[in-house]
Each structure stands twice: as structure tokens, then as C-alpha cells.
Amino acid sequence: MVLVRNPGFLNLKLSPTQASTTTFPCRFPIAAARTGSAIVTSNASNTVFATDLDRINVLGSGNGGTVFKVRNKTNSEIYALKKVKEYMDSAFRSQLLRETEIPRLVDSPYVVKCHEIFQNPLGEEVSILMEYMDLGTLESLRGEVVTEKQLASMARQVLEGLNYLHELKIVHRDIKPGNLLRNSKEEIKIADFGVSKIMVKSLDKCNSFTGTCAYMSPERLNSEADGVTEEDKSNVYAGDIWSYGLTMVEMLVGYFPLLPQGHKPDRATIICAVCFGEPPKAPEECSDELKSFIDCCLRKKPSERWTASQLLSHPFLVHRD
């Protein structure tokens, strides 16, 4: 994820070897770390310690670590605890800094909450205590029938989260079904800030090859292509909108929309489809409002894509309030 700041703001640099010590504006209150404690920082009013937690089961695992479902022994609250692998090279440490820095800056009902960050005394292990979303990711809906009304509800919530992040100059860079979590309250929230970026200058670009290839926008996959201008490269938020649009189409049709159903994607095929093919569209049987909404997200030219704020006022969402 990325945070873009005006030139007058403090310059934030995420060093791959040490945590950022940048002071942020007062609207981002961050509790100070306590020496000798197992807790690094907290975003919650009621502090939770690592010793308060009982593991229930494993929710998932990957290259970045393992996520456990845990219970607070003092009040029976349920959380998700991401335990980061002990060995960290410089690249992984840099990703970890991003993943822990940004959740401490944000406070939105549309972004998964980071409650605490734990580190053992030797600094060899880091765990992130997060809000528990009991229905998993939007990937679990793949293949199910999603109505336009249901899609509008999902679309609005994710857009509210993106609009909030973009207003704070934060670019996610990896919006996809697997990074959008849902719960039994029918809430959808944005998660996983491992490749996000904080834009520290108004002209910072976000064209690095970071994130999930399949959901990258054309200008991010090939920033040197003919027709990609400096303005396109500087339009850092438009890449999130492309990824968001692809995700919404995928929820609607039940499979990754840039390739035929059942086709296993590879990087070369994805690049060709994104950079040289036509953007996917909503199915013909969909309403004109939904077709227009998807088109506003998936325009090849970044400057022609609607912003999150503009999309929130699109008739597809407004007429379903």
C-alpha cells in the first residue's frame, strides 16, 4: 500500500532494516511502545498482551506466515493472529514494515482493524493481532450466484474503504478477492497491506512490479508501453480502481474475467490479456447501470478511470440505497 503526502508534510521512508520513526499528524494517534513488554504498539483502547491469547485453529498460511484464530482468555473476544516467520531477509522485513505501519495509521469500518503488534524480546518473531472476519475472503464466493443488489453492497463497502485510504494518500496495490474479507454481519473490509505504499511526495509514482500480477492495471504491468505518459504513471490511485473493477466482475461471473473459464493463468498470458486485449465487461444480461459502472473502472487509460469518490456517486450504487 502507498501513502502520498503533499510536499509540506513529513517525509516517510520505510527502511528495509529498521522500523520507521516518522511522526505522523495528530489524526493518527499511535500508542508508544513499552520497553521490555511483549507488545510493540496498539490501536485499541483495551490493550491485549500475547499471554492473554489462546490459539483455537489455523485459518491459513503462506509465504508471509501463518494466521491463527485466537481467543482472549480475559473476555473471550475472538481475533485473527498473524504470526510472521522468524527468518526475515531484507525484502521480507521491508514488506513486514509496510504491513504493520499502515494498519496503525488507519481507523475505518471498511478496513480490517489492527489491534496489537507483538514482538518477542529477541525480535526474532513478530505477530499481528487483527480483527477476525468469520466468513473469510471473497474468494469463498467464487462460483456462487451474486445478484446485482448483492454486488452493489459489496462494491460500495470496498469503495468506501478505498476512498478512505486514497484520501489519506494510501495506495493498496493488491486489491483482489483474497484481500477482501467478509463477516456474518455482511460487512466487507480491505486487508493485507504487505505491498501497499505510502506516497510521500505529490509526484511519487507507483509503477513498480509489486502485487498480484493478474489484477495489475495496464500501466503497472508495462509502464514503458507506447502511450503511457508521465501523467499516467503519476496517477497512482487508478491502479487500485482497475484491480477493484476486475474483482467486481469476477464476483459477478464467478471466475477470473480476463481469461476463459477454467483456463489456468500464467504471467505471459495475463500480460498479453491486460495490455493488448480489451477490458472485460459486465455480461450482456446485466443492467445498463452495472455495465456503465464496470466500464468506469476498467478503462485502459488511467486518467479516464473514475476515482473511488466518483464511483460512490455512480447510479449503480446510488439507485440501490
Q: Which residues are designated catalytic? A: 174
DSSP-based three-state secondary structure for 253: helix
Residue 290's SS3 state is helix
> DSSP letters along 252-294, please?
HHSS-TTS-TTPPP-HHHHHHHHHHSPPP---TTS-HHHHHHH
Residue whose C-alpha cell reads 498479453 in the numeric block: 272
- Contact yes or no for 242/305 (Cβ under 8 A): yes
Bridge partners, 66 (sequence order): 61, 83
What is residue 4's three-state secondary structure?
coil
DSSP state of 112: P
CA distance 173 to 1: 5
Distance CA 81, CA 118 (A): 10
Judge whether 82 is annotated as a binding position.
yes
Residues at the binding site for ATP are 82
